Amino acid sequence: MDDQNKRKYPRISTNFFVKFSRDAIDSTIRQLQEGLAENCSTGGMFIATDRLFSRGSVLNLEFNLNSETMPRRLIQARAIVRWIQRIVTHPGMGVEFLLFNGFGKHEFAQQLEHLSQ
């Protein structure tokens, strides 16, 4: 069975920047990191980045979905790091979405659907 058949949510190939940070007690010292979302689903995404956080870390994400059929909108979400890829030529981490700020998973699924068309 291939990875796509094992997944709870189908993934689409993407190519957009994601800003992310781990929670900090003082938000003024929170450092934003940047990575590239290479695939995404309503359940999570793979972020290609050299800045890896440990499994179980809760991250704040900010990104825009680039769709020609939908207005550009900043999406803010919280996610948990589920796995890490330490391959030197392609490091990154798989994150699972916990919640979206400002809208729900159904609306996010609609945004993703427009990306895949």
Segment 38-53, tens digit of pLDDT: 999 999 999 999 999 9
Cα–Cα dist 17/41, whole Å:
15
Domains of the chain: 3-115 (2.40.10.220)
Write down the mean pLDDT value for the chain. 84
What backbone torsions phi and psi does residue 113 show, to the nearest 5 degrees?
A: -60, -40
Look up residue 5 and give its amino acid: N
pTM of the full predicted structure?
A: 0.84
Give CA separation, 59 vs 21, 65, 73, 105, in Å: 5, 18, 20, 17
